[in-house]
């Protein structure tokens, strides 16, 4: 669910989508700055300039993306799916984890949940994957909650002498062109960044022109981008 709040004389936007939405936010700021520059001068001095009253938060992508990523693996027969998360208390992370848990629950596998990690970083992905694959009952698949986590996981998998996807499958959250240049190319969940940016600009400019307060909610679903990093597990239960 994407939420956008419009207020009089406010031209501040906060993108609640993790990772790629930062780029959308930058585009919004540049375009809105050209249109609303003169209005910023009329802001009362006792009101903070950077108060995030206009917000675009794509809750739907984070939750449904977690569900879809997990289902990609479940549909190929995986049952032990490790979820390597980022910052546990961040809202994008919490919604992605909840999607993962709900997908397992719907498949009757809630007891099989494996959630580990504490940062959206290469080091976290590397460290948690090393620990996961070193155990006697290693997961048959990994769901990385960001591209940076994924890259660390890929390094750890290769150093452990395992192959993707023959020995272990991987799915990532967030789309990035370089993922198609890895070997194998990575299956992932994409966010509609361009649509988020366009919608944010349109709604924000409307709020500037109309000078009214209102709330607009949008449905921006995630996209499955299927590549070559997922295969059936060798010993499906």
Sign of torsion, CA 224 230 231 236? negative
* pLDDT (tens digit per residue) in 18-68: 344 444 444 445 544 554 444 444 344 443 333 333 345 567 889 999 999
- Is the preceding omega at residue 165 within 30 degrees of 0, hence cis? yes
> Strand order in 54-58's β-sheet?
13-15, 54-58, 2-6, 214-218
Report the C-alpha gap between 132 and 136 in whole angstroms: 9
Residue 72: pLDDT over 80: yes
pLDDT of residue 51: 35
Task: Give the count of beta carbons closer than 10 Å to the beta carbon of residue 154.
Answer: 24
Closest CA relative to residue 172, chosen from 224, 112, 134: 224
Highest mean pLDDT among 39-43, 118-122, 220-224: 118-122
Report the predicted TM-score, pTM, of the whole model to 2 decimal places: 0.72
CATH class of 81-190: alpha beta
Sorted by where each begins, the domain ranges of the chain are 2-59+191-222, 81-190
Host H or E run for residue 100: helix 91-106
* pLDDT (tens digit per residue) in 149-168: 999 999 999 999 999 999 99
pLDDT of residue 235: 61
Q: Is 179 helix (H, G, I), strand (E, B) or coil?
A: helix
Lowest mean pLDDT, pick from 84-88, 135-139, 213-217: 213-217
């Amino acid at each position: 669910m994407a939420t956008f709040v419009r207020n009089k004389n406010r031209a501040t936007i906060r993108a609640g989508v993790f990772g790629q939405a930062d780029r959308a936010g930058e585009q919004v700021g540049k375009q809105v700055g050209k249109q609303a520059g003169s209005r910023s001068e009329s802001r009362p001095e006792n009101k903070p300039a950077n108060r995030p009253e206009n917000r675009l938060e794509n809750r739907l992508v984070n939750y449904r993306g977690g569900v879809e990523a997990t289902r990609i693996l479940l549909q190929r027969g995986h049952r032990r799916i490790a979820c390597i998360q980022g910052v546990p208390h961040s809202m994008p992370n919490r919604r992605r984890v909840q999607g993962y848990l709900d997908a397992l629950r719907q498949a009757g596998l809630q007891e099989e949940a494996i959630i580990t990690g504490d940062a959206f970083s290469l080091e976290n992905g590397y460290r948690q994957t090393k620990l996961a694959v070193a155990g006697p009952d290693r997961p048959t698949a990994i769901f990385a909650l960001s591209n940076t986590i994924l890259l660390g996981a890929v390094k750890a998998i290769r150093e452990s002498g395992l192959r993707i996807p023959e020995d272990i499958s991987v799915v990532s959250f967030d789309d990035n062109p370089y993922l198609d240049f890895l070997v194998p190319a990575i299956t992932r969940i994409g966010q509609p960044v361009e649509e988020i940016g366009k919608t944010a600009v349109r709604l924000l400019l409307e709020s500037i022109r109309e000078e009214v307060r209102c709330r607009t909610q949008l449905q921006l679903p995630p996209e499955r981008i299927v590549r070559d990093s997922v295969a059936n597990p060798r010993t499906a239960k």
